Amino acid sequence: MPVQRLNHAVLYVRDVDRSVAFYSDALGFRTVAGVPGKAMFLQAEASTNDHDLGLFAMGPEAGDSEAGRSTVGLYHLAWEVDTLAELRRIAGVLSTHGSLVGSSDHGATKALYARDPDGIEFEVSWLVPADLLTHDVRMGTAPLELDADIERYGAQTRGGVGVSTAGG
Domain boundary pick from 31, 60, 89: 60
Same domain, 45 and 89: no
Which pLDDT score, from 0 to 100, does residue 135 have?
82
Same domain, 164 and 93: yes
Same domain, 1 and 80: no
Same domain, 23 and 46: yes
State the 10-residue block means of pLDDT for the chain, 168 residues long.
Answer: 85 97 97 96 94 96 91 91 96 98 95 96 94 84 96 94 53
Same domain, 119 and 160: yes
CATH at residue 92: 3.30.720.110
Half-sphere exposure of 47 toward its Cβ, with a 13 Å CA cutoff?
Answer: 21
Q: In sequence order, what are the beta bridge partners of 126?
A: 110
Which pLDDT score, from 0 to 100, does residue 168 have?
45
Which pLDDT score, from 0 to 100, does residue 161 have?
66
Please give the order of strands across the beta sheet that includes 121-127: 77-80, 121-127, 109-115, 100-105
Q: What is the reported pTM?
A: 0.90
Same domain, 154 and 89: yes
Same domain, 33 and 91: no
Same domain, 159 and 82: yes
- Is 68 domain-assigned? no
Give the total number of structural domains in the chain: 2
CA distances in angstroms from 76 to 65, 108, 142, 162, listed in the order given: 12, 19, 19, 24
Same domain, 45 and 101: no
Which pLDDT score, from 0 to 100, does residue 157 have?
95
- Is 114 domain-assigned? yes
Range of the domain at 161: 75-168
